[in-house]
């Protein structure tokens, strides 16, 4: 079964209750004291920008791996993929509270597994966050047979990881599959031989930025 494409209503559906609540409280306080309501309107604006969810387009090259999130590159290294049980190229995208927080599939492929791990809430920019924080790992197999793992990792203040993909779903690159609330990261594990197209410190945009190129053949 294919996971349906999210219709991109500009503001992520996960944020509708938060936005409605913050605006309602600000309106009520405005009726009582316009001056005291100013901080509440600032909070409402923050909630509005946090839950924005713009539509994106990206490369259609068959071997392109697209960024699953907006943010900054904090890791580019060869390491072990604990979810796919193999050696891999790991690229990590750290999202701060001002980035778009919806997550999108980095490749076209079929979901092989989805596994949730409870954990701690260290700063998501730290290396130990990958294996010690609360996280959700999704393993995808591309049509050419490559295995790609995308792991949503909760951060210091992130308290909810949402993943809508299920085992057996077929995802398209750039297709929205999840959301993490309030600061986090996404780790992408790629097969050996993949060529990174980003470096530590680079700013990336979900779907619009190519993180790496998959190898032409399977090792």
Q: What are phi and psi of 65, to 5 degrees?
A: -105, 120
Please list, residue by residue across 192-213, b when 16 or more beta carbons sit within 10 angstroms of its beta carbon and e when fewer do.
eebebbbeeebebbbbbbbbbb
Taking the C-alpha atoms of residue 23 and residue 34, their distance in angstroms, rounded to an integer, is: 14
What stretches of the chain show up as alpha helix (H) in DSSP?
16-32, 34-50, 129-132
Residue 216: is it exposed, middle or buried by C-beta count within 10 angstroms (0-12/13-18/19+)? Answer: exposed
Q: Helix (H, G, I), strand (E, B), or coil: what is residue 125?
A: coil
Interatomic CA distance for residues 168 and 140, integer angstroms: 10
Catalytic residue among 67, 130, 184, 194: 184
**Is there a catalytic annotation at residue 102?**
no
Angstrom CA distances, 202 to 114, 142, 150, 179, 197, stand at 28, 26, 19, 22, 10
Beta bridge partners, 168, equal: none
Residues annotated as part of the active site:
184
């Amino acid at each position: 079964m294919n996971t349906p494409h999210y219709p991109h209503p500009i503001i992520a559906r996960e944020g509708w209750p938060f936005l409605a609540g913050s605006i309602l409280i600000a309106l009520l306080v405005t009726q009582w004291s316009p001056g005291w309501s100013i901080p509440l309107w600032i909070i409402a604006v923050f909630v509005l920008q946090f839950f924005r969810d713009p539509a994106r387009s990206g490369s259609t090259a068959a071997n392109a791996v697209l960024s699953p999130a907006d943010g900054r590159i904090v890791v580019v290294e060869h390491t072990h993929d604990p979810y796919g049980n193999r050696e891999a190229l790991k690229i990590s995208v750290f999202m701060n509270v001002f980035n778009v927080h919806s997550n999108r599939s980095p490749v076209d492929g079929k979901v092989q597994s989805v596994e949730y791990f409870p954990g701690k809430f260290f700063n998501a920019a730290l290396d130990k966050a990958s294996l010690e924080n609360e996280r959700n790992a999704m393993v995808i197999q591309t049509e050419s047979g490559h295995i790609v793992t995308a792991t949503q990792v909760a951060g210091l203040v992130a308290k909810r990881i949402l993943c809508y993909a299920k085992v057996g779903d077929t995802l398209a690159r750039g297709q929205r599959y999840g959301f993490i609330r309030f600061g986090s990261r996404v780790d992408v594990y790629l097969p050996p031989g993949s060529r990174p197209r980003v470096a530590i410190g680079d700013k990336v945009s979900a779907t619009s930025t190519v993180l790496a190129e998959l190898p032409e053949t399977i090792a």
